[in-house]
Structure 1
Amino acid sequence: MLVDATGALPTLPAAVDDDRALAEVLSSVGADIPVAPTARLADGRLVHVVGMRGIGAPGRFVAPGSLPDPELARVVERAIAELGPAGMPERRPDWFQPGWFDLVEAWIDVVLAPTGRRRTGPVEPFKLWSLAAVVRVPADGGVLWCEAACEHFRTEPRIYAEVARLLPALVPQVVAIEATEGWVLMEPMTGVEATEQAPGTALELARRWAAAQLACVARVPELLAAGLERRGVDETIDAFRRLLDESPELALLSAEELDAARAAADRAVLLTRECWKAGIPETLAHGDLHLGNVAWDGETLRIFDWTDGCVSHPFLDAVHLARSADPKAAAAAIAAYADVWRSALPHVDVDRVLALAPLADLVFQTVTFERIAAATEPQSAWELGGVVARNLRLLPGAVAAVDTSAV
């Protein structure tokens, strides 16, 4: 393994949720790619195990066993042993397998050829984790981006293609998809790399997305035929009931917390059903609509990261978005979103649906994260671990908030 001149590993104080952390790690040691998922040690330190597609990185190499930290040495030795098909752990994403970058580059070259463009250098890892990989693609005519989804989200390219067909102005410009592998090649999005979002992002998103969802109500059969999952009230509640009995994260709750969550569950289910049955039709839902999944430069708005795209209750997206904005922006966004639906469905008690939707979204998101946890390999469980338990802790309060609002 690679160490500096003193025999120490390079260190980089990068935040776990910093999308630029991987690029900084790779450049700091002259490496090209990660070869294993980021591991977290018992003391909270993160270990990035990286490699080179070529040769010539600075520093010198030593055996992992010579490291003074036994836990760190075990992580590195395990990563080396797992390279290759024979040692690859179950549920490990493809992008940690040798040769994956070569396959992606070959596909990009093929799909670019008819367009008259060409790749001008190796693809550059930007973010690779348990759920997805995003790589930068240098090309003549401008940089492109390629996203790959893990097995659990392998339908994302088909979702992108269908949403782009129905709502081309609201999603990234797709260059090509590889549905079997779960790859999407797309044009860059203006505004996504800005240090600060343009003013009024939440409000503009709420207006446009409400209108788009309303337009897609009539297209639900097409969405389902294209492969989007229906996550309706029955599917959501059935999965929620199961996780209350079976989720591994129940072990993270105290006996009192678990009793409180289960005691609130029946009421939560009744209120979630009421939300669905109030007269708002199911339609296209993003499933994880927050300000981190939108690019807005003051003119063009693009919604990305469609791993959770489905057919579901539209208001879950609205309240999910509101939670990611500051209170003033959230209130304006919700008001604008509600106005679209009030105009279209004047007979529906939109205010009541808005009161119910945060609880329904909590139930929905708890199911989402339970499914993600089941699809994630154990070494990467720390990335999103604990979300199901956290949501169950919030459940009694969310139920009480709805009941209080009705008084």
Structure 2
Amino acid sequence: MTTPVYPMTRASGCPFDPPPQLRDLQAEAPLTKVNIFGKDAWLVTRYDDQRTLLADPRLSSDVRRSGYPSPTGEPPRNDDGVGIGFILMDDPEHARLRRMVTAPFMIKRIEAMRPGVQQIVDGLIDDLLAGPNPVDLVEAFALPVPSLVICRLLGVPYADHGYFQQNSKNLIRMTATPEERAAAHGNLATYLDNLVGEKLENPGDDLLSGLTDRVKAGELTRQDAAGIGVLLLIAGHETTANMIALGTLALLEHPDQLAVLRETDDPKVVAGAVEELLRYLNITHNGRRRAVLEDIELHGQVLKAGDGVILPNDIGNRDPSVFENPDALDLGRDARRHVAFGFGVHQCLGQPLARMELQVVYSTLYRRIPTLRRAVGLEEIPFKHDGAVYGVYSLPVTW
């Protein structure tokens, strides 16, 4: 049998669903070998297996490990040694660095930001209603919301948003050449390193300034502080922006579900809707990657030390043994068990912030613009099949 190639292709006309080949493998061969970037790796498609392995310390997130299923053998790093934070590290170093930025993402701290985020959302909707119609929702709303929020949190000047957004796009674009990706990372690393340098001299009340306190105390190098800044800046706006736009499009295609959000003022209903949209859409659509450190037995197979493992959360969140009628978007579903944010020690640090932003957006946009609709046919909307983060490049809307 020919080894399947990963990533796989979505079915034409089904932009919200995982590739059908993943569904077939989940039903028939939940643990199978695939070819990724010319190398073999294990593909794990069932929800329970994914959670089990994501919590297993015998799997490594370090891209430099033998067998790690990455197009490159080394994590991005610029000439000054600035990496991409702790996301591609293992414990104990991963835990040490992650702990330094945990406090700003605690739920109580995030909830204190909610009024400010509501003000940002309302202001952008005011601008939408006063501006041109139709308009691209991505550029006018979905991207500015999380960019403004993460800039405030980190202490990054929003005036520089065009620069870091363009470099972020190039860094996570799957079709980018190694040279393009390296250049984009170098630009972001240099930018954050300079910003850390400024905050060492003139600290403020923001996350990056908090990291400079660690640098001064000798707990963190300036390069590591800049690397954490790169990671949080990219993750803090790219993922949420795509969830806002893709979630809106999915709701426009399911008007009965859109009506649930448009007509409710119950925060619990909104919070539940956010979880279901996260489960249903899975913008991190190319699987979490790991390298095997010690042999692991699963389904009668042995994942050997040095093997690569891919855990695609998009099909894990469509597992019918966990989510009844998984291909239906049902905002009344209890979807809190989803793995959209991963699982285990590398579970997304920023998930409280993402949840809060999405709750504010989804509870506000459709109530304030109840006649919001697509301005072009679904077939005319450009989807990010070539991106590490899934979404749409543009979403023309009218009202």
TM-score per shorter chain, which class? under 0.3
Bigger radius of gyration: 1
TM-score (norm. length: structure 2): 0.26
Relative contact order, higher structure (CA 8 A, sep 6+): 2
TM-score (norm. length: structure 1): 0.25
